[in-house]
A = this chain, B = another copy of it.
């Protein structure tokens, strides 16, 4: 895995799994470019990371780090769901794709999607899926995804 990630890293960046030291490097601030992060004290981050790492077949969170500065430039998650349908197949859910505003327009988002798709395929997923708002449908179409339907939600108060 580590070797493959190195091979897939765009020039000037390191692609690697999220690690404990990324809290201090600004991982919560990176996520804040996507959505509400809320309260994420370091203890919660670390216990959550341990919990996710204890299910390595289910969760993979990647980060792209700028090689020269060590700055966190982007992140993306692959959630692998085991199903009974499609011959007990697996589906890769692409979640929480974020590119730091400091690193936009360099193709890092598209690169991350490509890598997550490749990993999903390598793990035997028959498809990857993702939910997005209408304004980024065009971006994901450029990444090779096709609109299949509607994404519905119910929020709890």
Residues of A participating in the B interface, judged by any CB pair closer than 8 Å: 27-28, 31, 34-40, 44-45, 48, 51-52, 55, 58-59, 79, 81-89, 93, 95-96, 117, 120-121, 125-134, 137, 140-141, 144-156
Contacts and interface: CB of A to CB of B under 8 A. Distances in A.
Given A82-B48, A85-B35, A140 B152 contact: yes
A152 B148 contact: yes
A29 to B, nearest CB: 12
Contacts of A81: 79, 93, 95
B48 A88 contact: yes
Nearest to A113: B154
Given A34-B85, A129-B152, 8 more contacts: A31-B85, A38-B89, A52-B82, A93-B93, A129-B154, A131-B148, A145-B154, A148-B151
